[in-house]
Amino acid sequence: DAGITQSPRHKVTETGTPVTLRCHQTENHRYMYWYRQDPGHGLRLIHYSYGVKDTDKGEVSDGYSVSRSKTEDFLLTLESATSSQTSVYFCAIRADRAPGELFFGEGSRLTVL
Amino acid sequence: KNQVEQSPQSLIILEGKNCTLQCNYTVSPFSNLRWYKQDTGRGPVSLTIMTFSENTKSNGRYTATLDADTKQSSLHITASQLSDSASYICVVSSVRDDKIIFGKGTRLHILP
């Protein structure tokens, strides 16, 4: 158990509403990541963080923002959800010690109607 | 361009048989390569992680190989079990800018 939890695990919302997904770790690792997984695309990086208040964009960051005010929590926000953001979202943490193993959460399934 | 290509996209085999999944990458400079197993509805779980100097690593019935010269890796599953039905994802990390590149995965179905 890598000590990483995501919430909520399932959410159904309507177009235009804000949504926040939470990732919580108990391992105190620096690096945290948010990915989305869609059929035919595999896992795609949305945003990542390399420390408190230090974040950067991934390949599919449009429409998403993140915040990391504490080492243990990494929040992903959809300011105004769209149907194209229906997906399964995975949080991951990377072990600080080389070679930097990645550990994933169980995923958050988001449906935007 | 850094890419990770996996083949086949999907594979169906009978329980008890062996199979091999392939991963080709163009990531440079190479740092490490990992294989993950993802059960339906779950997050990916690491099977093996291999660095440049390692060319074979085993984890139970799973054996990963790495040829850093040809930039190819394989995951061999011996005596498959129904619980091996899952997606297997190849992930390669680059030393430069610390990028992590994912393959799209191979979907493996084990039939009784």
- Span B72-91, pLDDT tens digits: 999 999 999 999 999 999 99
Does A98 score more than 70 pLDDT? no
User: Nearest-CA distance from A81 to chain B in Å?
Assistant: 22
Does B15 score more than 80 pLDDT? yes
**pLDDT of res. B95:** 78
Q: Region B61-68: what's the mean pLDDT?
A: 96
Gap between the Cα atoms of B102 and B33, Å rounded: 10
Neighbours of A34 (CB within 10 A): 28
Interchain contact, A107 vs B49, CB within 8 Å:
no
- For an interface test with B, the pick among A23, A30, A31, A37 (most B C-beta atoms closer than 10 Å) comes out as A37
Q: Residues A48, A52, A54, CA angle at the centre, nearest 5°?
A: 50
**pLDDT of res. A27:** 85
User: Nearest-CA distance from A101 to chain B in Å?
Assistant: 8
What φ, ψ does residue A98 adopt, rounded to 5°? -55, 145
User: Nearest-CA distance from B36 to chain A in Å?
Assistant: 10
- Span A9-31, pLDDT tens digits: 999 999 999 999 999 999 889 99
A33, A42, A101 ranked by CB distance to B104: nearest: A42
**pLDDT of res. A77:** 98
> Over chain B, what is the mean pLDDT?
93
Among the listed residues A79, A43, A75, the one whose alpha carbon sits nearest the alpha carbon of residue A60: A43
Gap between the Cα atoms of B32 and B51, Å rounded: 4
Q: pLDDT-derived band of residue B97, with 50, 70 and 90 as boundaries?
A: low
Q: Using a CB-CB distance cutoff of 8 angstroms, which residues of chain B are in contact with residue A106?
A: 42-43
Q: Region A55-59: what's the mean pLDDT?
A: 94
Order across the sheet with A4-7: list the strands. A4-7, A19-25, A73-78, A64-70
Put simply, the chain B residues between 6 and 45 with a CB less than 8 A from any chain A CB are: 31-32, 34, 36, 41-45
Among the listed residues A69, A66, A111, the one whose alpha carbon sits nearest the alpha carbon of residue A91: A66
Does B98 score more than 80 pLDDT? no
**pLDDT of res. A1:** 56
Q: Which residue type does A1 have? A: D
**pLDDT of res. B74:** 98
